[in-house]
A and B are shown apart, each in its own frame.
Chain A
Amino acid sequence: MSLASPVFLTMQNIEAILLALSVEATIAVGMVNLLISGGLDLSVGSTLAFTGVVTGLALNAGIPVILAVILGLVAALGVGFANGFLVSKMKINPFIVTLGTNMAVRGLLLVLAQGRAVLNLPPEFTVIGQGRLFGIQYPIYVMLALVILGDFLVRNTRFFRQNYYIGSNERAARLSGINVDMVKIINYCIVALLAGVAGLMITARFGSASVTVGSGLELRVITATIIGGASLSGGEGSVLGAFLGALFMGILANALNLLGVDVYWQNLITGLILITAVVIDVINERRKSQAQSKS
């Protein structure tokens, strides 16, 4: 790749890749838990924009940065709790629930912002997204820290291991004493909170809260987790895998850009890659199950 484009391996380009995927990767840390437990969340794109708008409006109303940030995250948490409650207690299919909240939250934020971006955010806030440490922008550190922490927790803690049991067999998980409803609610809260964090970073980076940001994001995040080994039928996946999936997609988009491939083609290619990843997964599963049924 560095042969085809001399820019590819430069520090600036690597930073650009990481910055671009910091949103997807941050949310993927939470999304992978949902996939492991057999759920999914289509509302993360709207939640991200919602947090940005709430925080932006609060800042413009003169509320201190720290409170405005907390307000934005609480708004995100509210969406997550609603998702979790409807999925676990009302037993509604997560696809339907989060498809609904995705639209509802997008509508709500458009109402709040009256359809316009929230501009003129104070520098004390935008530093979150634009500030640098050792010449690298903060969102990259946030993403890396969350990925490392998330991977450690999902591998090593009892709480997160419960997701594998729920995703593999929910009824057996219940009989094994796992509080399935509570774990699910917390999963949705975590992913919403991470979408909120990503929303704060992107809003701060651009210096304004866009009302359209994050649309279609949910599918890119889910694609990354599936490329990274998660399965829509639950019981499988890892945070590191999801991060690598996001990294792969980020590098690919970047490479296509540098090679001057039209942005429309990029969507087509991403779509084909997702399908290929799933097909490989299905073929592997089939091969395994054939090996089993030989007796």
Chain B
Amino acid sequence: MEEILRAEHISKRFPGVLAVDDVSFSLNKGEILALIGENGAGKSTLSLILSGIHKPDTGNIFLEGKPVSFNAPVDAIRAGIAMVFQELSLVGSLSVAENIFANRQPVGTTGKIRWDKLYRQTSEFLGRFDLNLNPRQQVKFLSMGQQQILEILKAISINPKVLILDEPTSSLAESETAYLFENIRKLQKQGISIIYITHKLSEVFRIADRVIVMRDGKHVGTRSVSEVNENDLVSMMVGRKITSLYGDSGKTNGEEYFRVQGFSRKWAFHDISFALKKGEILGFFGLVGAGRSELARAIVGAYPRDAGKIFLEGREISIRSPSDAIHHGIAYLTEDRKGDGLFLSLSVKENLIAPSLHSFTKFKSFLDFRRIDTFAEKSVRDFTIVTPSLSKKISNLSGGNQQKCLIAMWMGTNPKVILFDEPTRGVDVGARAEIYHKLREMVSTGVGVVMISSDLPELIGMCDRIIVMHQGRITGELKRGEFSEERIMAYAAGISPREIAQQEVNYG
């Protein structure tokens, strides 16, 4: 196979940390190479070096056999290495065409943009990827999946030889991910080599040919995807053997504890009722647009509802705002940690006390700093949050530690029911195991957990029951023992059980 890119003995030191430690690897033409590792393993730094944003301290990069060195991202792009970042860089108010050919629009002699030519050029370009997008469409009206693909197309439009994708599916739903993968394979067929950075192991097996594992800046190993399984990769990533990621499910106490009845909101969810037992973990699965997050937010009064009642321990409770929910012991942990979960510019301590501020007061209004300190210290210990100090800004912490802070923060409200939206989004494997362990610990004390997740293996591993939603309605419910990925996906796609049975007969 023809080698396109080779890196030899790359090292990069930042003050206090050797981010990339003597890494060598090679990439073949038309290959999809997954790059995996926990947060802080050095995969981002390595990709930033390859794309010319950081200069390596030592080491050489060869592109098509010739040594190259980049002083700026432009050099890497000219040489043929393009990178697509996690955050989208599209301009929502501009058209698809203007985004793809940003700053490279065809202009006439007077300097006026030749719109007709721009749109034609874009149509041709989109045609190469069988993409059914209108070049004139404003980008803000596209779905997240379409935007992610557009971002990749923008990078492709300069005809790179190597494309680096940094966690492109982190904000995508399953159907959008499938759509993205289809398009990545098209690129592969056209001879483009791809470095695919991810921490979702399932994606490695779906898309990659080979996989590089990094840990603490070092290259731990390269494997052919066909010769490893998920457990091998996890062990390589964390450097120790993880036997059981999800832990064992405990016994649920039979009595009903929390009940939601007849929740409806036009365009979001319709006539949703479910009950939760003490010590139970109830999963909610659905594709984007299924209305799960809206439902959870409506339960805690952070999203409007047209109808619906809530019962806790047999009594109806009234929840009109998040503060009512906190008061009744119902905690909602958001899926969007940075958007509406944490206070990034504030310290770890200030974050930890945010939802329970009222319980740290003397005479109902003056803050009791000694109790706050005790609580914060205990939280950091109990949740094994790694932080240099309590007064460190929370934005300095890794994703996993931020997520643990989010959990600790809400445990401080002494909740009876926890609605946990995407508990492990953007969290690496090590912290993930700790979060699952913590959830098990919480339910063992009698708390009920509603776990909303798009990560099906996680739901199947953790839950006692899974409810599936499709377009705002409950389409199925399965108990532990009946779980199967096929059935859950079918419910999520809105296919009725009879049709599934039919299909099983057909395929069987």
Q: List A residues at the B interface (Cβ < 8 Å).
A: 156-159, 161-162, 164-165, 167-169, 171-179, 234-236, 288, 291-292, 294-295
Contacts and interface: CB of A to CB of B under 8 A. Distances in A.
A295 B367 contact: no
A252 B396 CA distance: 38
Given A161-B367, A295-B44, A168 B346 contact: yes
Contacts of B355: 175-177
Contacts of A173: 343, 354
23 contacts: A157-B366, A161-B357, A164-B343, A165-B343, A168-B345, A168-B346, A169-B340, A172-B339, A172-B343, A172-B354, A173-B343, A174-B322, A175-B340, A175-B341, A176-B357, A177-B323, A178-B357, A179-B321, A236-B345, A292-B395, A295-B17, A295-B40, A295-B398
A161 B360 CA distance: 12
A288 B354 CA distance: 24
A175 B302 contact: yes
Given A158-B365, A292-B396, A172 B340 contact: yes
A190 B396 CA distance: 34
B343 A168 contact: yes
B447 interface: no
B19 A294 contact: yes
| Residue of B341, B342, B345, B361 ringed by the most chain A CB atoms within 10 A | B345
The 10 closest A-B pairs by CB, nearest first: A177-B323, A171-B340, A168-B343, A294-B14, A176-B355, A235-B345, A177-B326, A176-B354, A168-B345, A172-B340
Contact of B302 (A156, A164, A174, A179): A174
B342 A169 contact: yes
B36 to A, nearest CB: 16
B471 interface: no
B358 A158 contact: yes
Contacts of B475: none
Interface in B299-320: 300, 302
A294 B13 CA distance: 9
Given A177-B323, A295-B44, A235 B343 contact: yes
A162 B361 CA distance: 13
B464 interface: no
A167 B322 CA distance: 18
Chain A contact residues, majority secondary structure: helix
A118 B300 CA distance: 54
B contacts with A: majority SS: mixed
B350 A164 contact: yes
B334 interface: yes
A161 B351 CA distance: 12
A175 B334 contact: yes
Contacts of B326: 176-177
B34 interface: no
Interface of B: 14-17, 19, 39-40, 44-45, 300, 302, 321-323, 325-327, 332, 334, 339-346, 350, 354-355, 357-358, 360-361, 365-367, 393, 395-396, 398
Contacts of A168: 343-346
Contacts of B321: 177, 179
Contacts of B339: 171-172
B322 A177 contact: yes
Given A169-B340, A172-B339, A234-B345, 14 more contacts: A165-B350, A165-B354, A168-B343, A168-B344, A168-B346, A169-B343, A175-B341, A176-B354, A177-B327, A177-B355, A235-B345, A292-B396, A295-B14, A295-B40
B119 to A, nearest CB: 35
A174 B324 CA distance: 12
A159 B361 CA distance: 10
A252 to B, nearest CB: 30
A168 B340 CA distance: 10
A178 B323 contact: yes
A172 B341 contact: yes
A165 B346 contact: yes
Listed residue (A161, A169, A176) with the most chain B CB atoms within 10 angstroms of its CB:
A176
Contacts of B361: 158
Nearest to B366: A156
Nearest to A236: B345
Contacts of A234: 345
Nearest to B302: A175
B366 A175 contact: no
Contacts of B14: 294-295
A41 B44 CA distance: 42
B445 to A, nearest CB: 22
B346 A164 contact: yes
Nearest to B40: A295
Contacts of B360: 158
